[in-house]
Structure 1
Amino acid sequence: MDRYVVFGNPIGHSKSPLIHRLFAEQTGQQLEYSALLAPLDDFTACARTFFQEGLGANVTVPFKEEAYRLASSLTARAQRAGAVNTLSKLVDGSLQGDNTDGAGLVRDLVVNAGVSLAGKRILLLGAGGAVRGVLEPMLAEKPASLVIANRTVEKAELLAELFDDLGPVSASGFSWLAEPVDLIINATSASLAGDLPPIAASLIEPGHTVCYDMMYGKEPTPFCKWATEHGAKLVLDGLGMLAEQAAEAFFVWRGVRPDTAPVLAELRRQLAAG
C-alpha cells in the first residue's frame, strides 16, 4: 500500500487523514494516510525514516521551514514561499518540496466562492509564513494592488521587496489604512487568541468587500464576526483553503484532482457536531 503522512507537532487535531481518506475513496486510489507526531528537535531524522518506504508527506507547523531545507529540489512556488508543506519522493529516491497553500487559497476564493482577484484591491493582514506562502499565486491573478499590513512594518516591507517583481505589492502598518478595499485576508494568528487585528472598519465597503480568515473553528472567528457586523458582502473562513491545499497535494502525488465539495461539506458537518 502506498504510504503518506502529515508531519506536525502537535498533530492530533489534524483533519488531513480524514481529508485524504475521503479523496482516496472518491477517486479510487489505493493509499494509506496517517498523522505522524515528529519530535520538535529532530524532524529531519523522522522524515528520512518515513521516506525509506513512504511516498509523500504533508508538513504543518512548526516544520515547514525544516522541510524546505530537507528537500533535494524545490518547485518554483516552494522557492518563493520559503517553506514546504508537501514532500514527494521522486523516482531516484530524492525528495522534492512543494508549497500548495497559495494554490489552495486562490482556488477556494476563485473557484469555490466565485471571487475574482483580477483588478482588485487586496489587503493581506500579517507578514509571517502564511502570507509569504500565498503571495506568488495571488499576484499571478493580477490584482490592481496588494498591500501587506503588519504590526512590525519592517517585516511587511521585506516581503513586499521580495515579491515586487511579480506585481503591485506594497507594505503598510495597520493604522495607516482607512480607504475601502475589495478583499481583506486575515493571515495573522489573532483569531487563535480570540483577538482582532487592529484595523479600521472603514476598510470594509458594506455590501462590496469580501473578508477571508485563514483560521476556522466551530464558531465564526473574531475576524469573521467583525466582518459580518460591518456589512461585508461575503465572509469566509479557512476551512476551504485547508481542503483545497490538500487537494493540490493529492494531485501532485497521484495525478488526480479530487472534488473538494463533498469533502468540505463533511468537514463542516463534523466541525458543527463538535
Structure 2
Amino acid sequence: MTDRYAVVGNPIGHSKSPQIQMAFAAETGEDILYTALLFPVDGFEREARMFFEHGGGKGMNVTVPFKEEAFRFADSHTERASRAGAVNTLKLLDDGTIVGDNTDGAGLVADLHRYSVSMKNRRILILGAGGAVRGVLQPILSEQPAELVIANRTVSKAQALADDFADLGTLKGCGFDELEGTFDLIINGTSASLGGELPPLKDSLVNADTVTYDMMYGADLTVFNAWAVERGVARTIDGLGMLVGQAAEAFHVWRGKRPDVEPVLAMLRGDRRR
C-alpha cells in the first residue's frame, strides 16, 4: 500500500514540497503519495489527528503558521526540535506515537556545505531572532564557529536567544547599531527582504571574503543579497537550497534514505528561469 505524506500550512498553495518530495520518491524508488493540505488556522490538532489516525498518514511537513502547534502535538521530540521549540517534520512511529523533528537547520548547514562554506572557527552573524533563526542555531553551533552574533531590531529577543543557546558555543545578542567588525558569514533570517526592506547594516560588516546567505529566495536577487553584491562580497547564496535540503532531511527521517538534492535543485532553478 502506498504510504501517505503531506505538507500542511495556511496558506499552502505556493508550496514546492509536493514537487520536491515526489521527485525524491522517484529517485529512491519509494512508494509514497505526498500532497499539500490547507489546514484551517484554528484546526491544526484536529486535522493532524485525522490525517494520522484515519487518513493513513505516515508523516507530515509543517509550515507557517503551525510549527509551534506541531511541537505541542508531537508525543516526543528530537533534540534539535526541542532546542528549536518548533517542529517542521512529524513521523508516525511503529508504536503509534508521533515524534516531532526540525530539519530546517540541517537543510541550511547542508546547503552551505554544498558551496564549500566552512563555519568552523569563523565569525558568523545572523540577522533576526524569530522562529526561523531559533530553528537553525543548534546545527550552526555544532559546526563550531569562533563566534555567533544574533542581531535584531528588538534587542531583548536577540539576547534571549543567545542566552538560550549559550551552552553550545560563544554567542552574543545585540541590536544592529551595536555590530562591529567584519564577518565571514552573514545569514539573513528575517523575511524583510521579500518586502524590499533591509535591516540597517554597516558597510564595514562585509569584505571581499564574506559570504552572505538569505533564507528567502526568489526569481531575482533578494534585497539583502543585492546589498551584499554591491559591496563586493565573495559569494551570495539564496535559500532555495535550504528548502530542498530540509526536505531531503525530512525524507531521510521518514524513509531512511538520503536523496540527492542536485537534480531537484536543477529542476526548480529551471522553473524559476521560465
- Alignment-mate amino acid for residue 269 of structure 2: R
Query: Equivalents in 2 of 1:271, 1:249: separation in Å?
Result: 24
Query: Equivalents in 2 of 1:209, 1:37: separation in Å?
Result: 40
Verify: 1:25 aligned to 2:23, yes or no.
Answer: no
2:78 to 72, 75, 80: 75
Query: Equivalents in 2 of 1:227, 1:93: separation in Å?
Result: 48
1:162 to 143, 153, 164: 164
Q: Return the offset for 1:178.
A: 3.4
TM-score by length of 2: 0.98
Summarize deviations over 1:207-252 as a string: whole Å, max 9, x none.
2000000000011110111111110101000000000000000000
- Alignment root-mean-square deviation, CA: 0.6
**1:178 match:** 180
Query: Equivalents in 1 of 2:98, 2:40: separation in Å?
Result: 20
**2:132 match:** 130
SS in structure 2 at match of 1:51: helix
2:155 to 153, 173, 180: 153
- Alignment-mate amino acid for residue 160 of structure 1: A
Structure 1 gap segments, 5+ residues each: none
Verify: 1:200 aligned to 2:202, yes or no.
Answer: yes
**2:266 match:** 265
Q: Return the offset for 1:175.
A: 1.1
**1:34 match:** 35
**2:100 match:** 97
Query: Equivalents in 1 of 2:138, 2:47: separation in Å?
Result: 30
- Alignment-mate amino acid for residue 131 of structure 2: G
- Alignment-mate amino acid for residue 223 of structure 1: F
Aligned residues: 271
Contact kept in structure 1, 2:74 and 2:99, CA below 8 Å: yes
Q: Return the offset for 1:259.
A: 0.2
Query: Equivalents in 2 of 1:32, 1:95: separation in Å?
Result: 19
SS in structure 1 at match of 2:236: strand
Query: Equivalents in 2 of 1:269, 1:176: separation in Å?
Result: 41
Q: Return the offset for 1:43.
A: 0.6
Summarize deviations over 1:172-194 as a string: whole Å, max 9, x none.
10111131110000001111211
Contact kept in structure 1, 2:5 and 2:35, CA below 8 Å: yes
Query: Equivalents in 1 of 2:136, 2:270: separation in Å?
Result: 27
Query: Equivalents in 2 of 1:103, 1:132: separation in Å?
Result: 13
SS in structure 1 at match of 2:143: coil
**1:59 match:** 62
Structure 2 gap segments, 5+ residues each: none
SS in structure 2 at match of 1:212: strand
Q: Return the offset for 1:270.
A: 0.8
Percent of aligned pairs with the same amino acid: 61
SS in structure 1 at match of 2:57: coil
TM-score by length of 1: 0.98
- Alignment-mate amino acid for residue 86 of structure 2: A
1:106 to 104, 109, 113: 109
Contact kept in structure 1, 2:158 and 2:173, CA below 8 Å: yes
2:141 to 120, 139, 153: 139
The 5 Å alignment of 1:1-16 reads 1-16=2-17
**1:86 match:** 89
Which aligned segments of 4 or more residues in structure 1 are displaced greater than 2 angstroms? Answer: none
**2:121 match:** 119
Query: Equivalents in 2 of 1:172, 1:216: separation in Å?
Result: 26
Q: Return the offset for 1:161.
A: 0.4
Query: Equivalents in 1 of 2:229, 2:149: separation in Å?
Result: 22
- Alignment-mate amino acid for residue 180 of structure 1: T
